[in-house]
Structure 1
């Protein structure tokens, strides 16, 4: 579900300096002197980066969400909201960026926004709670349907049957929730650092996971709750992860994940609120 957004409140632009009418030669001299007097040293190379800031709110109650994660998929930057539900991401290049928002107990959301140079954009984003219930007004309007027999929901243990089955083969590397808690890892990338055959390609503050046996520039596939999701996969908060499977090369990748990109490796992530497997 796409989160709703408040109206954009762009920062005001600085008004241009008025100039008197001068001769062509004097105009050039005047502008040159004016630039020297009014512009600080290095202003010509001022950082044109933009900023996104705002709050993450509960879509039902409007309450601020503390500790929600806002991640820019285009830069890899990720921040968490403070005690007032506020967030801020700086250093955004001019153009379109996609942001993923997540919080424990809430459905994930995403939004794409376009930024101008040095723009400070303010957006309040709302997330729907998992299993959101209808309001009294909506319930009154709801149509009552005949009762039909249903089966009980699949237990968490049944959901992880495939994880346990693959772990017994020993072909990959596996991390459980207990191991993640004991390691006190801050990010998914931190959790995978101790694993063999995993390396990192870093540019500035952004690091991408790559497999040691994979060709240069070949990124692994991310499978989140049995669905390939290379956009959100690298940004899943550790607190939302129940288990991780890491396969570093084509010879390790199980048949259900094999494909044209298998040689780059596969990272399988099981989240707390993931869907149950469909079994017959």
Structure 2
């Protein structure tokens, strides 16, 4: 027998596991009556002070149920842990006990060996319990397909084509960094486009191996004739999202090169206006 006031420092980590949620619920119901206020213990009462931790991470387990169990399986005392995982239990008499712990989302665990409480003694310990998945039967999760959307430059193939390195590509970031005054000014920064202002409109020229020529221009995948209307009016810079410039029909994607007539292709992609 240990003298009164004796304190032991113990580390408890593992123990047999009981079925998770069911065992926790049963243990909680069994010990609920012990959580109510009780008269003050005698000076010879035995105390267990400890901390309940998650095995593997040592995170404190909040609102865990920690209980003293007799060798016969009777619940002797029970308490809930605080936000730091701390708990204190007082045994009514000197005896041998098991220590059990349970918490929502963790496996109910019993220390694998008995330990003795001496009159007036105190034990300090750490108790670790493993996590357990919480099964929710009958729960079905569905996602609205409309909420799962791709970026327009992915849908129209801009991103995939840019990965192959053919042509010159200007995405949202490059358009912003160009600090262009308007769409025509932006096209000239590609190094492949020349803009000629004429009385009857704007002429966009491209230099290839044969000299200067007029490229085919697509707006959001549709062939567009500039004519006597300025491109800046048709496609304001604020709505431009992507630009592809191909110097020849050989460089351009097949679906856009069919009517290039020996010159290059310019693809302009806009965001919702």
TM-score by length of 1: 0.39
Structure whose alpha-carbon radius of gyration is higher: 2
Structure having the higher strand fraction is 2
